[in-house]
Structure 1
Amino acid sequence: MSALPTAHSSSAPPLEHAAVPSPDPAPPVPHAPTRIRDDAHALDVARELAARFAPDAVARDRERRLPWAELDLLSTSGLLSITVPREYGGPEVSSATLATVIATIAAADGSLGQIPQNHFYALEVLRVGGSDAQKRFFFERALAGDRFGNALAEIGHKDFKRRTRLTRDDNHFRIDGSKFYCTGAIFAHWIPTLVVADEDGRDVTYLAIVPRQSDGLAIVDDWDGFGQRVTGSGSITFDHVYTDAAHIVPFLASFERPTTIGPVAQIMHAAIDLGIGQGAFDATLPFVRDHARPWIDSGLTHASDDPLTIRQVGEIAVQLRGAWALLRRAGRIVDAAKQTMTAETVAAASIAVAEARALTTTASLEAANALFELCGTSATLDGLGLDRFWRNARTHTLHDPVRWKYHAIGNFYLNDVLPPRHGAL
């Protein structure tokens, strides 16, 4: 990082909820994590964890019960280190495996599928733009089970400019500002924070990876969206939070050249959507077989024999199968771009991921809608918690607009226009 001149303080005003006490910082993981050997091992562990997470998913959602115990299981399972490069001691699984792991967990609990997304995003930013010393330090922390949250987004303004400032204060650097949509931060040991610094009269963006227990850092569990209820996606304020220069990673520079940060971020979002849709479909089938009533005009005894129901189940199955295929295809293209990052390979990866996201969005929402159409009014009973699939799908698919995915795809094929390089494509 270049030397930063002294800049005027421009702390953002505190959030209305800043007076609420911060949750206690995440304790160290209970024991040393399992070391994931390879892709097959990662997938096996993901399936085992999903089976453990699923039974209490309804209760966690209804009670907004933060999943501390489940996150500790995720840490000690070793899954949070699966993208650490082999040269730094990790298994470096494929992008398709990463996406499948996330989708598998999201099928059991959409919130638990989303929480690690920013963790892996931070690791990709480090892989692409971190120094060797930063990689060694933070990759080792990931291998030890530490969790990385996020403090990236800001609200209250119509533009996307970041106002959280990084300024020099004597021989240290200080962060002042506020963030929202901080998914996973409550559970994290480290908070990767997007900050802007004044360098020669222009704002330069960095990612400052801040210890959760830092003085002046306050996290508020004020996320109250109707879906993804226990992602911990609340707000953070930074009030004169001092940070180590060794923990500040160039960020904007990673998008000024072709890198895979954007495609990796987006393939994980596609995986979350697909997992939620798959979970909805998996919940639909037994309900139709065992509980749903056939429509009176069908003259049938069992809803599972209704030809119109059978047809709609087939349509959803095809959409989900196609979404899985596009997700895995996108993973292969992302991995090829990682090997040789050029404007062309990264564009190909971005478009492949955008294609996957377009279909995972549709498949997720259609599967969640079809659950109620096929299962009937009894499926809406509150105690069943089946509405969580639609609420989760509708909430997470709003992360960034799919209509712009179609625009990027069409512009690429029709006009040879390369997609923009940022974390939203």
Structure 2
Amino acid sequence: MSHNRKVSIVGLGYVGLPAAVAFAKYGCVIGFDINQQRIQALQAGHDHTHEVESDALKSADVFFTSNPTHLQQADFHIIAVPTPVDEQKHPDLLPVLRASKTVGKQLKRGDIVVYESTVYPGATEETCVPVLERESGLQCGIDFSVGYSPERINPGDKVHTFNNIMKVVSGFDAQTLEIVAQVYSTVVTAGVYRATSIKIAEAAKVVENTQRDVNIALINELAMIFNRLGIDTHDVLQAAGTKWNFLPFTPGLVGGHCIGVDPYYLDHKARQVGYKPQIIPASRLLNDGMGVFIAEQALQHLERLGSIVQASVVTVLGLSFKENVPDLRNTRVVDIIHTLQKHGVSVQVYDPFVDAQEAEQELGITLCTAENLQKAACVILAVSHRAFIEQGWAWLAGLLEDKRSLVIDVKGTLPRDSIPSHIQLWRL
């Protein structure tokens, strides 16, 4: 399908940049971000998120800019900015409201604004549209229109990409819905799903990640139970997985900008309408506590091995929220680090994917290089980066003291058939 719309993307992060490059195959795209350093890096063909390869970025027909007046050249605006939570775990809509203000100032009659940012049901029409109307002096449904199409980007995933993931689309009215569907259909080969309303599309997004959060919380709770029973969780899951309808979830840390955040948006909206959720907040509490649990297990096993905890060095491998990405947002590895440090442990952190300056500024954590790692009593494989797994047990053994040592494999990705005899393994 084809369309005659000029597309702008507002917010060029993990979500916006892949969308901009995809749309650019069918015409010039206005790529807008308020971060001038980000714009300069993209103009030079460098994407620090590693979501878009340098060659694809350099050849993409995207006009990168931090000047909002350039948005006037487009008539189909896609807003893809972060929607985090604050310290009290309440939705922080400031980024999406600021983006709405920016777009609203440049809005023209006939324009369509589509939100991809994750929000709670009702936020687009009840909170964002009034900002667009106020800043533009135009009326939604008469002068311009809006839609909602939730992002489904999985950072670091080179198989499930913007182009080949089914896209949920919605619109303020039937005419808008068809235009939004047509525009996205030009780039999304997997097709589009027309939601019956914007609220339905908004709800679908938060449900996708809330469901995963709840399921992972169950498996994490099982891991804590099986740990007390002396049973390996992954062996249990492998056996249970032989049943045709068993869901293949595994234990681990739940961070990032989606699963670790989105459930709070649904929880917030539920309380607004007078319902106090039970399962959603319980799952969030349990998953947020896994870093402390892992650190406590490390401390207990070190004591059993005869190590003096306060004199021990522990190496934490990986700091990003998931494997093979540099994204530090809501990483729960910090909980492992801080808990160990509270008990007097000397912690050294190594992550070749993460920018050292960002780790220092955002988290207050100083990263080591591979060359300056001290020998440790324990190595915690917190993030299963491919670079770590491929080097195997020989490399891990080289990071440990020669005496009886400990390896914590958080996600259970290391092979158990080749563990060196002086290493004790623990995993969730």
- TM-score norm. by structure 1 comes to 0.26
More helix by share: 1
TM-score w.r.t. the length of structure 2 is 0.26
- Structure showing greater radius of gyration is 2
Task: Considering Cα pairs closer than 8 Å and 6+ residues apart, tell me whether 1 or 2 has the greater RCO.
Answer: 1
